[in-house]
Structure 1
């Protein structure tokens, strides 16, 4: 006699394939994209900042020496032209009507030509009136500011940027 066993009550049903929840997958994709963009942006910004700093440092160092050269080429010692701040600043004091010391407009012309000041900047300097107050302008890697009064003359400051 053969015995047939009854079906087991606790047999497991065949496993159905489980799909990942769509909501989790949909929220992960944008998060990964944002993270990738952030890493790319940080790398790009860091590279651009480094390259710009390297590029800007070289001309500034060259211009520092150029200010010293302008002083020695154009002015007599202690004649109203001086270099300060480790060579980063050049000052020109053109003698006014009430000054006892100072340099001449010829020396100022020499300095401006030596530093390759554009005609627009040079004319801006020479056309400044006492009423205009302190003026400023830039060219190449220089920033200049100046003031003029007939009594105290023209006082120019040029800085290497």
Structure 2
């Protein structure tokens, strides 16, 4: 019988110290597998990228069109019929109503079934001398923002925006 201080005991308890000894099985069980990750619904990445690209093109077109149009004539005179003749002659997507006091702009920049063009919209906003602050609000409207309104000079405007449906806007003479 060997005493606890014999040299054979440290070698048996430490297999790395004795190269001739057989490896011993670990004294602890392997760690349990982690729980499975929760399943998240996949999002349609192409739809999100397409919507972002459409919104970006909408805003870029509006900005370029405003730079080109630059408020070149009517000085915000309130003659909506003359503005339509300058910017969108013959367009069925831009209409004058209420005896010339209202202009309706349909589906500007829409991805599905496009209506008014971005050039037409930019021309109209330029001709009516819409302030930069209002143009900025229009350009930054998101679908989830809902119905928006602004007043400037002798006009009030209300609009909604969705990438699929574009910008729908009503401009009314208030004075």
Tell me the TM-score normalized by structure 2. 0.53
Query: Mapping of 1:1-161 within 5 angstroms?
Result: 63=78, 66-93=79-106, 94-99=108-113, 101-161=114-174
User: What is the distance in 2 between the residues matched to 1:110 and 1:71?
Assistant: 9
Unaligned runs of 5+ in 2: 1-76
User: What is the distance in 2 between the residues matched to 1:118 and 1:88?
Assistant: 20
Q: Which runs of 4+ in 1 moved over 6 A?
A: none
Count of residues paired in the alignment: 97
User: What is the distance in 2 between the residues matched to 1:79 and 1:87?
Assistant: 16
SS at match of 1:159: strand
SS at match of 2:89: coil
SS at match of 2:116: coil
**How far 1:80 moved relative to its partner?**
1.2
- After superposition, what is the alpha-carbon deviation per residue over 1:20-69, rounded to whole angstroms, capped at 9, x for unaligned? xxxxxxxxxxxxxxxxxxxxxxxxxxxxxxxxxxxxxxxxxx62xx1111
> Greater helix share, 1 or 2?
1
User: What is the distance in 1 between the residues matched to 2:147 and 2:118?
Assistant: 18
**How far 1:79 moved relative to its partner?**
4.2
User: What is the distance in 1 between the residues matched to 2:89 and 2:112?
Assistant: 21
User: What is the distance in 1 between the residues matched to 2:152 and 2:131?
Assistant: 7
Unaligned runs of 5+ in 1: 1-61
User: What is the distance in 1 between the residues matched to 2:82 and 2:136?
Assistant: 23
- After superposition, what is the alpha-carbon deviation per residue over 1:124-145, rounded to whole angstroms, capped at 9, x for unaligned? 1111000000100000010000
**Computing the radius of gyration over CA atoms, which structure comes out larger, 1 or 2?**
1
User: What is the distance in 1 between the residues matched to 2:124 and 2:87?
Assistant: 6
